[in-house]
Amino acid sequence: MPAKDDTAAASPATKVAKPVANPYLAAVLAWVLPGAGHAYLGRSARALAFLALVLSSLAIGCSLDGRLAWVFRGPPLQVLATFGGLGSGAPSLVLHMAGYQGAVEAPGYEYGSVFILTAGLMNMLLVLDAWDIASGRKS
Amino acid sequence: MSHVFLMAVYAALVSVFFALLWRRGARQRGKLFLQIFLGMMAGGLALAWLMFLFPGGPPPPP
């Protein structure tokens, strides 16, 4: 009969989270395609929901001709907006490669820019969530 | 294009996202959705009225 596991008596502060999957892979997948990290972790329904939410935000932003920032050297806020937009991973890269920039003269430009930026920021949170689940910190 | 409608769409998207991310169970998710959605809508309208006190911007063209 195996000995009783001493960790069962350990205080919560000393318990170490046990990884359930590769957190690096989960995070990369989550960034590349919104929801893919959660799909890798077996949360298919949530993966589809998050994919729909992030893509919806991106699509609404593009329909309003919002800006997809692509400035890596220049005004700090524009650089931040660039990295924020890149947070949605492959969809934003595809948009950029397709030549999408937005139209500053469009009436919905500012709103669309916010939707596009929010899509990226939401996906960044999904990356962190996937990491936490994969590393066992979150169920 | 209605600005209020766009604000509502944005608030709904963000509220659903955080409800799914931070809560488990339909009841808890619904509760958080309403809290965030109503908070964003009320906050946005409150800020809009607050800005009404400070008229600014360029003068209208002749």
- pLDDT tens profile B6-62: 999 999 999 999 999 999 999 999 999 999 999 999 999 999 899 888 877 777 777
Q: What is the rounded CA–CA span in Å between residue A113 and residue B11?
A: 15
Average pLDDT, chain A: 89
A128 touches chain B (CB under 8 A): no
Question: B23 to chain A nearest CA, in Å?
Answer: 12
Across the interface, do B20 and A53 touch by the CB < 8 Å criterion?
yes
Of B3, B9, B20, the CB nearest to A50: B20
ipTM: 0.84
| pLDDT score recorded for residue A5 | 47
Q: List, for residues A91-128, the tens digit of each pLDDT value.
A: 999 999 999 988 999 999 999 999 999 999 999 999 99
Residues of chain A neighbouring B1 (CB-CB closer than 8 A) = 107-108
Across the interface, do B6 and A57 touch by the CB < 8 Å criterion?
no
Cβ within 8 Å of B, A 22-81: 46, 49-50, 53, 56-57, 60, 64
| pLDDT score recorded for residue B4 | 92
